Chains A and B, each alone.
Chain A
Amino acid sequence: MRQRALSILVTALISAGISSAACAAVVNGAQGNNGNNGNNDSELVPTGKGWGERPANFQGNNGNANGQAGRNNKASGNGINYHGGPLMLGNAPGANGSTNNIYYIWYGNWTGNSALTILTDFANNIGGSPYFNINSSYYDGSGKTVPNAVHYAGQTNDKYSQGSVLNDSQVQSVVASAINSGSLPKDPAGVYFVLTSSDVNESSGFCTQYCGWHTHGTIGGIDVKYSFVGNPDRCPSACAAQTTSPNGNAGADGMASIIAHELSEAVTDPDLNAWYDTRGYENADKCAWNFGATQTANGAKWNVALGTRDYLIQQNWVNASGGYCALKY
């Protein structure tokens, strides 16, 4: 009788322990936002005991698909760590294996909006720039780096197929629809941007918590990387750096910086389990809303020239020389 009771107790504790350990893994991966800023490479890892511990040896890599910290992460010494997941190394089909592709899905009503040309020009010129070259300081477990190449591979329109208030799942549906209908190709080396017009809201926190986000999901049997970027005209104080902008369209100019942010994170942390710091910050998060040295023309600040246009783009984190925010590398 006592033996049976003991058996039940042990089983119960193990059951609870397993749950707690799983929780600990999540908590460890979700360290808070108020940590120190920069080069603290120490990081909690799951122990299987229900609490996290500092790793004894900070080498190797074993992240998982949930973006949780691996048991043996690699510290770069640059304030950001590699967690074992894949990077986007430019394996675009038909593009000699050296570029990543980006696609735009113009969602809502963009008729007559100069954003169409401003952001298309941006997409056509960010690849190969000293700015995007910052991402080439990130590498995978075998030392392969993100190429400084981006190919603007296509665009399509979606006139409110999911209405004017989107949730996260509907954003994925927009991407899936564009791919499954053949409007855009199914491209594992692509990042698909859902760009919404100013009358469209994203109900999971656009304007109050974020201005854009990126993630990945299975669409048509492959792992697709995609991003939501809303129009800052909807909330200039939250998502636009300035109301007078270099290309005369504050919403589009604000979106350019957010696209740069999400694209940099997508290529260095596409499955949310590659490069991020002890607070969970990806490379662009570490420099969010920092613009560095700017110039002013016609009342608008700008800091990066791409093609024939000037843009005000946030800095990005260089994974070298101890790590720092910069506009070029």
Chain B
Amino acid sequence: MTRSAAPLILGLAGIVVCADLFAQPARVPTVTRLVKIFAELEAKVDDAIAASNSSALEALLTDDFELRAGDSPGTPVARAEWLQGVAKQRNAHRRDEQFAVHDEGTFALVSFRQVPQGARAPALFIVDVWQKTGEDWKLAIRYAGSAASVAIPGAGGSKPAIPKKY
């Protein structure tokens, strides 16, 4: 029983991983105007980090920017500390996907999945709070945690059943 179940379990493990990928609509481009705008801003953040361009990065942040990480949400990472930390991420390329933008007037809540490229680091689920300052948007708060599949109360019932393109 145990022996005969082993291949099945391993196969199912693969299928479970696969099912998580299937759950996301394939080849999802972004089409709302705000998704386009903020996907471009997030790409600027990624590019500035990859290029170690601190001046470009700082220009995208509010003065009191902070990071709240999922494993220690009660301990904010302040702006200077975060800048110091991401400075070590030179040449770290990322792919951001599955954007959603909630327009809250002078704030925009931008959520997406960030997948490191060419590395075995895990994907992250990020929620960025962008603040309108004059004509520009600046990143005020970043909430980040693992994008690994975990049981979340209330989640899992509304995954797309119909493949569609935007």
Residues of A within 8 A of B (CB): 4-5, 8, 11-20, 22-23, 26-27, 29-34, 66-68, 167-169, 172, 203-205, 207-215, 217, 235, 237-241, 261, 265, 269, 272, 276, 279-282, 285, 288-289
| Pair B31/A215 contact, Cβ less than 8 Å | no
Task: Collect the chain A residues with CB atoms within 8 Å of residue B3's CB.
Answer: 4-5, 8
Task: Collect the chain A residues with CB atoms within 8 Å of residue B94's CB.
Answer: 34
| Pair A33/B160 contact, Cβ less than 8 Å | no
Q: What are 10 A-B residue pairs whose CB atoms fall within 8 Å in the complex?
A: A8-B7, A15-B7, A16-B13, A208-B35, A213-B165, A214-B165, A235-B103, A238-B33, A289-B31, A289-B33
Contact pick for B27, options A8, A31, A209, CB 8 Å: A31
Residue of A5, A22, A33 with most chain B CB atoms under a 10 A cut-off: A33
CB-CB contacts of B11-32 with A at 8 A, as 1s and 0s?
1011101100110101111111
A282→B29 CA distance, assembly (Å): 9
| Pair A67/B7 contact, Cβ less than 8 Å | no
Contact pick for A205, options B27, B96, B100, CB 8 Å: B100
Closest approach, in angstroms, between the C-beta of A209 and any C-beta of chain B? Answer: 5
A301→B27 CA distance, assembly (Å): 32
B88 contacts A by Cβ under 8 Å: no
A241→B34 CA distance, assembly (Å): 11
| Pair A68/B34 contact, Cβ less than 8 Å | no
Closest approach, in angstroms, between the C-beta of B115 and any C-beta of chain A? Answer: 7
Task: Collect the chain A residues with CB atoms within 8 Å of residue B29's CB.
Answer: 33, 279-282, 285, 288
Assuming A29-B26, A34-B96, A238-B33, is B7 touching A168 (CB within 8 A)? no
**Minimum CB distance partner of A258 in chain B:** B31
Closest approach, in angstroms, between the C-beta of B136 and any C-beta of chain A? Answer: 16
Task: Collect the chain B residues with CB atoms within 8 Å of residue A30's CB.
Answer: 21, 24, 26-28
Assuming A8-B6, A204-B160, A285-B166, is B14 touching A16 (CB within 8 A)? yes
Task: Collect the chain A residues with CB atoms within 8 Å of residue B7's CB.
Answer: 8, 11-12, 14-15
A203→B14 CA distance, assembly (Å): 30
A34→B96 CA distance, assembly (Å): 7
Closest approach, in angstroms, between the C-beta of A264 and any C-beta of chain B? Answer: 12
**Minimum CB distance partner of A290 in chain B:** B36
| Pair A282/B165 contact, Cβ less than 8 Å | yes
What's the interface size class on B, roughly? 35 or more
18 more A-B contacts (CB under 8 A) besides A20-B14, A31-B27, A288-B31?
A8-B6, A12-B6, A18-B11, A30-B24, A33-B28, A33-B30, A33-B95, A33-B99, A34-B96, A67-B163, A209-B31, A235-B103, A238-B33, A239-B33, A276-B27, A280-B26, A281-B27, A288-B30
Task: Collect the chain A residues with CB atoms within 8 Å of residue B35's CB.
Answer: 208-209, 238
| Pair B32/A239 contact, Cβ less than 8 Å | yes
Task: Collect the chain A residues with CB atoms within 8 Å of residue B21's CB.
Answer: 23, 26-27, 30
B164 contacts A by Cβ under 8 Å: yes
A240→B33 CA distance, assembly (Å): 8
Task: Collect the chain A residues with CB atoms within 8 Å of residue B160's CB.
Answer: 168, 204
8 Å CB contacts to A: which residues of B108-166? 115, 158, 160-166
**Minimum CB distance partner of A210 in chain B:** B166
| Pair A67/B26 contact, Cβ less than 8 Å | yes
8 Å CB contacts to A: which residues of B72-122? 94-97, 99-103, 115
| Pair A66/B26 contact, Cβ less than 8 Å | yes
Closest approach, in angstroms, between the C-beta of A58 and any C-beta of chain B? Answer: 18
Closest approach, in angstroms, between the C-beta of A162 and any C-beta of chain B? Answer: 14
Closest approach, in angstroms, between the C-beta of B43 and any C-beta of chain A? Answer: 6
**Minimum CB distance partner of B39 in chain A:** A33
**Minimum CB distance partner of B24 in chain A:** A30
B1 contacts A by Cβ under 8 Å: no
A255→B36 CA distance, assembly (Å): 18
Contact pick for A209, options B100, B115, B161, CB 8 Å: B100
Closest approach, in angstroms, between the C-beta of A168 and any C-beta of chain B? Answer: 4
Residue of B4, B14, B34, B103 with most chain A CB atoms under a 10 A cut-off: B14
Contact pick for A214, options B6, B15, B26, B164, CB 8 Å: B164
A4→B162 CA distance, assembly (Å): 43
Closest approach, in angstroms, between the C-beta of B156 and any C-beta of chain A? Answer: 14
